Amino acid sequence: MLLKKISYYLIALCGVLIGLYPFAYFIVSDRKFGLLASKSSELLADNLWNIMFYIHIILGGIALCIGWLQFNKKFRNKNLKLHKNIGKIYVFSVLLSAVSGLYIGYFATGGIIAKSGFITMAVAWFLTTLFAFTTIKKGNIIKHQKLMTYSYAICFAAVTLRIYLPIFIPLFGAFLPAYKLIAWLCWVPNILVAYFINKQHFKIVN
């Protein structure tokens, strides 16, 4: 029980901190920092790419900041209307962030391996969230909860990506080979963790 609480609050802390990270792009005058350091000047000057990039990071950041709240059973039961409103904001944010992420994924550094990793993640994020929304509309609460667990696990890729980068870049000796692996590693293991969380939680519930 204690480990579960610690894990929950650690996820909440990481979600909020990384969710607020996009503000850095509005504060730092030189945009060529972080992951943007690997982008060409031509791409950074492209208007459509910029629109999609900012939609992705701002709305994705919002989803990351608020998504963890939805898994607090006490909060959910005491504030059902607020839970629904937060859920609507989360779904709206994710769907638009996933679509824009699909677009910018095509321009990912690292060639076809990285591009396919981020594009597949965007599609999985969009579908799990969309189906979570449609299932709750049909009154299927358990399936909704399972799908939302997968959705936020993919959303949490923004956190795991930033954990893996400083670990794998020194191991591979360069950014590019590490980034190709992380394009998949940042979200696929999260899906597996979500699977086991769902399996354990609903085993207890049943």
Burial 162-191 (b: 16+ CB within 10 A, else e): bebbeebbeeeeebeebbbbbbbbbbbebb
pLDDT of the chain, 206 residues: tens digit per residue? 778 889 899 999 999 999 999 888 888 877 777 788 889 889 999 999 999 999 999 999 999 999 999 999 889 989 999 999 999 999 999 999 999 999 999 999 999 999 999 999 999 999 999 999 999 999 999 999 999 999 999 999 999 999 999 999 999 999 999 999 999 999 999 999 999 999 987 765 54
Residue with tokens 């999260």: 190
Q: Are the C-beta atoms of residues 85 and 105 closer than 8 Å to each other?
A: no
Taking the model in full, what pTM does it have? 0.92
